[in-house]
Each structure stands twice: as C-alpha cells, then as structure tokens.
Structure 1
Amino acid sequence: MKLDLLAIGVHPDDVELSCSGTILNEIKQGKKAGILDLTQGELGTRGTIETRYAEAAKAAQIMGVHVRANLKMRDGFFKNDEEHQLQLIQAIRKYQPEVVLANALEDRHPDHGRAGHLIATACFLSGLAKIETKDENGRPQQRWRPKYVLHYLQDWYHEPDLLVDISDVFEQRMEAIKAYTTQFFNTDNGNEGPQTYISTPDFLDSVIGRARMMGKRIGVKYAEGFICEKKIGIRNLDALLQVET
C-alpha cells in the first residue's frame, strides 16, 4: 500500500504523543497514513510486549490509520548502522510515503535521537538506486525518497520550523494517547505498576500544555511542532492564505 504519510516512532506511543494530531488531520483530508514502530518497547518499566501491541492497535483504530507495523528492532540497543538502515529502507520503499514524520534528533531518551538520525539516514539512502533491497516476496524494490522528513518534538523543547493546527482533532488525539493505559496515568485500571516519568498526571498535563503553547504561537488553540532539515518552500502565496492565524 502506497502511503501519503508515514509516521515512524522508536517506541509504541511516540507517534501518538508527538504527531497524532497531524496524522488525524491528514486522514480527514482523505490521505493515506500509516505508523511504523521500530521496537516493541520491551524495555518499558510498565506493561508487557503483549499489552503494548494491544494498546498500539487500539490507538491505530482510534486514529483510523491504514496500516501499522513493527520492525522489532531491539529496544535500547538498535544502532544507526547498515543492518538497521537496510531494514528501514525496505519499509520505506514498501510504503513509498511522500512525507515521513520521525523521532526528534536530540531528546531526553537516547533512543529518540538515535532513531531520529537512523530514520533521516534511511530516508536519504532509500533514494539511491544502487542500494538493492527486496520485498517480502523476494522481488527487487524500486528506490524511493520521501519529499520531506519532519522531526516531531518530544520531551526536550526545540524551536519548531513548522507548526500544524490540530485544534479540531485534539480530543481524538488525546483519546489515542490514553489508549496506552499501562503507560500513562489512568484511574480506570488503578494506575497499576511502578511510577515512571510518564505515568504521573503531571506528564499528561505537560502534553496538553505543550500543544496549547504551540497553538498560541500561530493563534490557534492547539498545535504540533516539527523540525525539518530541508527548507520548506511553497509554489505561491495562496498556501499562506489557506492558514488561519
């Protein structure tokens, strides 16, 4: 399935926390969007691999994404090396996304930055014809390079290059985040498990606060921010006039 948008996250829930509003916007516009998790989040303090898969599936259903897959790289120990680059290139060429949403290039969790650089590298290398990969059926894949790689903001603040208004889909976005009942504060299950950095009520409050702060920057209620190493251009000024501020 060719996708318009592929959101890649190193852990299940990275995408929901950081760019699910943008995904929901694109799906509402009739675009095909998918999520690719690099690991199973097996090193997470709370929950299990099985619960993470169930939660990821529920979040995907809430968002209405067209596909969700997991590359099963080793949580905490994957590298930005040839083996992992080729594995990701194969997925990029399979889905042929126009735009990739990726982990932050620098962040509190070392997996996030390492994944951000891995994704950026793989997206570039995927466009080189002399790098040969095959699909699941052993057929040669065509080269493919996404037009843009946008790195979403995670724990650390970075000045965004692009802000997306997610006000209309914010409640649905929060519903997708809360699908991860083992990871985030949830009174329905007694908030079971040891407390972690992300399992307190304050963490979800900070997620909402970040979206409000980003929204204020462009005169809307809620927004998500992205960094792009490639300059973003427009064909004419009509693109600016379509944005309400």
Structure 2
Amino acid sequence: MLTGMTPPVATECHTVYGRPEPLDWLCLAPHPDDAEIGAGGTLIRLAQAGRAVGILELSRGERGTQGTPDVRVHECARAAAIMGLSWRGNLGLPDGELSDTPEGAHALGAALRLVRPRVLVVPHHRDRHPDHFGTYHLAKRAIHLAQLRKADLGGEPHRIMRVLLYQGNADIHPDLLVDVEGVQDVWEAAVRAHDSQFSGQAISETVTPEIIERRRARQSYWGTLARVRYAEAFEAENALLVDPLAL
C-alpha cells in the first residue's frame, strides 16, 4: 500500500513455534500439513545443515473435514520440532477463500518483512485446489509490496532473492530436484504429526492414511529421474545459475 492511501485492515501473524528471525528459506502453506507433504524433505535437509528454515500457514484449516484449528496448531508445533524448524507461524486468513486480496497481501507482505527469507517456496499456480493457486497469486503481490520502501507495512523493506514452486495436487515440470533419501524417517514422522488428517477416514487423495505411501511413490518417481532413491521436485520462477564444473 502506497503512502497516502488507507492501509487494509491488519491481520496479525501468530507464532506457532520458535521465534521470528531472519530465515534462509520460508515455505508458504495454504493449510497446516501442506508444507510437510509438498516440500518437507527439503526443509528438513536444510534445517539439519544449519540453515534457518520456517513455515508460514496462511489459514488455520478451519474448514477441513477432520480436526479443529486448536488441534491442528498443536500438530504444527509438534511437526516443527521434529523437522528442526527455526520458526513456524500462522497468518489466520480465511480457509477456503485464499486469493490475491489487498488485505491478504498486506498481511503477508508484513510477515515477509518480519522473517526476511532469502528463498520463498510457494504452491504451484497450476494446483487444482483454489487455496493453493490463490496462495501463489497472493504471494506474488506480497513479494512486490514487501520490497517497496513506500508500502505501508511496517518494518524495513525486504527483497526475496529466489522463488520456488512446490508440488501439491498437480503435475509439474521441475527444473530442480532435491535428494531426500537420507531424511525419510524424519519426513514421515513430521507428516504423521498431523494425526487428525492422516489417521482417520480417507477424505481425499491428500487427506488419507495412505498419504505417506502416495507421496513417497511420487518422490520415488522424481528420484528415478535424478538417479537417487527419493527426490522432491520444484519449479524455479527464474532461471537458475549453475556452475558447469558441478555438472
């Protein structure tokens, strides 16, 4: 929001785990558990390597068939501890209505200034779920606002250096594969921390007790292409600079 204009109604970012600090990587999740099943192995690898890693849920998942917001926030904190995250937060935007709105972009832009990630990981815009592609488009506006000195967000302007798209409920054409074989046990424990979603009745292809089996099959496919056992797939918003000597 530019100076001289009335800012949107503020939405407070609540800390679920850890404390706000400058992060190397931040993963945006429309709902609790989306980050774990889409990019959890990569986040765990980074955390184990000493990088400051975080997850920001945009909603509390309050319209989900199973679980309650209170239950799910405790599951998020438990999963964060398992993964070794530095911080996890929740923006409290309305579940089922995530889209590119001035209010949402203002809240997310302020959160980006708070934790100042270098790399931002967001859902893919081709995802079939409205909240997932809504999160992508909301993130694009928030990234722009967060870097504007005259945007009325509070805090100091911040520029995201790299945006990566992770796989949710749609096929993607990755240009980045991450070996996650060595963190499978931790990844599975983090996913299973969301017990309300993955231990009861199967509701969808993602809310199901078979989630580990299904996502591991996907990781196995990407791993085959990378000549490792398991890999997670990402698309880069901009071209990746690669040292040819590393190829």
Question: Same fold per TM (> 0.5)?
Answer: yes
The answer on 1:51 being equivalent to 2:65 is no
Q: CA deviation at 1:117?
A: 1.5
Identify the residue that residue 149 of structure 2 maps to in structure 1: 129
Identity level (%): 35
- Alignment map for 1:5-154 (pairs within 5 Å): 5-134=25-154, 141-154=155-168
Q: How many residues align?
A: 226
The list of structure 1 runs, each at least 4 consecutive aligned residues, that deviate by more than 6 angstroms after superposition, is none
- What is the CA–CA distance in structure 1 between the aligned matches of 2:160 and 2:207, rounded to whole Å? 35
The question of whether the paired residues in 1 share the 8 Å contact of 2:202 and 2:209 is answered with no
Q: Deviations over 1:137-193 (max 9, x none)?
A: xxxx11111111111001111111211111111221111011111101x3xxxx3xx
Offset at 1:69? 0.7
Deviation, 1:132, is 2.5
Distance 1:143 1:211, change over 3 A: same
Name the counterpart of 2:190: 176
The match for 2:202 is 195
Amino acid across the alignment from 1:13: D
Selected match of 2:212 from 168, 185, 204: 204
Equivalent position SS for 1:55: helix
Query: Hey, what's the Cα distance between the residues in 1 that align with 2:234 and 2:72?
Result: 26
Question: What RMSD in Å do the two structures reach over aligned CA positions?
Answer: 1.4
Letter in 1 for 2:94: R
Distance verdict in 2 for CA 1:77–1:159, change over 3 Å: same
Distance 1:201 1:164 in 2: 25
Mapped pair 1:237 → 2:214: no
**TM-score (structure 1 length as normaliser):** 0.88
**1:84-133 deviations in Å (ceiling 9; x for gaps):** 11100101011111101111212121110111121122113311222121
Structure 2: runs of 5+ lacking an equivalent = 1-20
Could you tell me which amino acid in structure 1 is paired with residue 74 of structure 2?
A: A
**Structure 1 residues without counterparts, runs of 5 or longer:** 135-140
TM-superposed CA distance for 1:201, in Å, is 4.1
